[in-house]
Amino acid sequence: MPELPEVETIKSQLDRLITGKKIAGIKILLPKIIKLPGNAFKKAIIGAKIKRLNRRAKILIIELDNDWTVLIHLKMTGQLIYSPTPNTAENKHTHVIFKFSDKSQLIFNDLRQFGYIKLVKTAELINFFIKERTGPEPLAKDFTLADFQALLAKKPKAKIKQFLMDPKNIAGIGNIYADEILFFAGVHPLCQIKRLKEADIKKIFKGIKNILRLAIKLRGTSASDYLDAYGQKGRFAQKLKAYGKEGEKCVKCKGRIIRIKIGGRSAHFCPACQPR
């Protein structure tokens, strides 16, 4: 699933590639992806120019110059691929194609079809995320250790991995980066928050900042279907130490990484380096 680093990567790339471009048309091949009747969606966006791109949590925000904003969530297998010319990046999983006046295109692919595209009034954008109860951005300059400690204090009985993955607590962290953050901190994924020591909390907070920043620098993790806006794989998969490493040697102690289920999701960790 594309998480914060992957969506941030795509946002930064598309900001350079499509900002200022005029939307000349849109091809909707799978109507359910658009959370609005197709004709209404087309009427709202065709003729508008891309004003700017942003990201909130795992959602890409494309602000138009006509007071509308397009929200795109890639969910588990979504891709957004930029094509400088028509029909060069389409495949059998292509569901939506944004066509620009210079003949370039933005192509939305999604193998499992869980992703979506929504349209909201730009003035209502803040209220949209308030209603979604989206948590703070972990890489924001004003997100401090004290803020993190205050969030943890609200849910003392929660298991730390589930806490990190809940977007209502912190925005943008999913399965991959939760595993990597807890491995960095040496904290068991099932550890209840109330059992965390002050040193554990500081290490987790440091891991959040360091690992997410490095993942963005390396253009995300292509552990499954993720590709950046150029159709290229991210390079953070080469840095993974826990996620997807079941049965492999721990890079710290040479023990074995194991995998367990937590609330229907997997957690990868080293029992020796992350004791419960």
pLDDT tens digit at each of 276 positions of the chain: 799 999 999 999 999 999 999 999 999 999 999 998 779 999 999 999 999 999 999 999 999 999 999 999 999 999 999 999 987 778 999 999 999 999 999 999 999 999 999 999 999 999 999 999 999 999 999 999 999 999 999 999 999 999 999 999 999 999 999 999 999 999 999 999 999 999 999 999 999 999 999 999 999 999 889 999 999 999 999 999 999 999 999 999 999 999 999 988 899 999 999 998
Burial of 114 (0-12, 13-18, 19+ CB in 10 A): middle
- pLDDT of res. 76: 93
Q: Return all residues near 215 (Cβ < 8 A) that are at least 6 apart.
A: 5, 6, 177, 221, 234, 236, 239
Residue matched to tokens 């929660």: 158
So what's the pLDDT on residue 88? 72
Residues in the chain: 276
Distance of CA 237 to the CA centre of its chain: 15
Please tell me what DSSP assigns to residue 49: B
pLDDT at residue 260, rounded to an integer: 97
The pTM (predicted TM-score) of the whole model is 0.96
Which pLDDT belongs to residue 18? 98
Asked if 56 and 137 count as a contact pair (C-beta separation under 8 A), the reply is: yes
Task: Render 116-153 in DSSP notation, one character per residue.
Answer: EEEEEEGGGHHHHHHHTT----TT-TT--HHHHHHHHH
Count the Cβ atoms, other than its own, within 10 Å of residue 159: 18
Catalytic residues: 2-3, 58, 265
The confidence score (pLDDT) of residue 266 equals: 94
Q: What is the pLDDT of residue 36?
A: 85
Two tokens, residue 16? 């350079």
Q: CA-to-CA distance for 238 and 220, rounded, in angstroms? A: 10
List the one residue out of 119, 106, 92, 80 whose CA is nearest residue 2: 80
Residues 6+ apart with CB under 8 A from 138: 4, 170, 171, 172, 173, 208, 209, 212
Go through the domains of the chain in sequence order and give each one's CATH number.
Answer: 4-131 (3.20.190.10), 145-269 (1.10.8.50)
